[in-house]
Amino acid sequence: MSKETKYFSRSMNEDGIVDWSDEDNQVWQDLYERQIAIIQDRACDEFMHGLELLNLPTDRVPQLFEVNQVLAETSGWQVEQVPSLINFDAFFNLLANKKFPVATFIRSREDFDYLQEPDIFHEIFGHCPLLTNPAFAHFTHTYGKLGLAASKQDRAFLARLYWFTVEFGLLHTAEGTRIYGGGILSSPGETIYALESDQPKRQAMNPLEALRTPYRIDIMQPVYFTLNNFEQLFELANLDIMALVNTAKKLGLRAPLFSQKDKIAS
């Protein structure tokens, strides 16, 4: 997970406050206003309920302690500042201790529509609403504990399960297919593409298949896995996931549904 980046976290003062610039706050406001309009009737109810609980400011970047107050009351999770991209050891260690990593930087206007690095908008707006949900919080905690104890090879397989759930998961509902993956819900282009395009495959969540399915981070996803209900995350967490990883290693990866020439996501 560690690579070169032009972005670095802003430091906190002794009171845990980040001194965001006026431009940073304006970028947050513009991102929030655009995305909140796009996710209406596209995000799942569980996400929208969590967003309501968090009551994020719309005109400025939230402070981490504000988010932590709500998470502590709902699920016992916390967000923790990290210095931009972190390695897998640090990532899994945080999740295993019910801490979600948040880099305290926000994208520039130049990268307004798409950013590969997870900035504070992606982490807070995209992921934190569902950390108030018991099923999502339990799955993420379980994933962290498994990853912390896993080998480097096994972590690569586990990353695919995380990708197709926490980052890019879909959900069947009585009102139709909805989104719960934070990677989709923080991206205007992919929010619409994931539900309305006829290009990607959408298939029922099969954890073994998810573990075997390659992905790229810089394109619109060619395949999405869909839960039958949100409680299925509890069921996934209670499976013997490492046994499934061993099976996936024996069977090998599926052929990728993308090429190096695919268009970058937005």
Q: How far apart are CA 128 and CA 102, in angstroms?
A: 10
Please, what is the angle between helix 152-162 and helix 241-251, to 10°?
A: 100
For residue 22, give Cα distances in angstroms to 5, 13, 15, 59, 112.
23, 18, 20, 10, 16
- Number of Cβ within 10 Å of residue 25's Cβ equals 15
Cα–Cα distance measured from residue 59 to residue 242, given in angstroms and rounded to the nearest whole number: 43
Helix 64-74 and helix 45-54: axis angle, to 10°?
120
The SS3 of residue 1 is: coil
Q: Which residues are documented as binding site?
A: 122, 127, 167
Q: Cβ neighbours of residue 40 under 8 Å, at least 6 residues apart? A: none
Residue 43 is encoded by which pair of tokens? 């995000």
**Pick from 190, 138, 153: nearest CA to 169:** 190
84 touches 9 (CB < 8 A): yes
Query: What is the bridge-based pairing of β-strands 223-227 and 99-103?
Result: unpaired
Known binding positions for Fe cation: 122, 127, 167
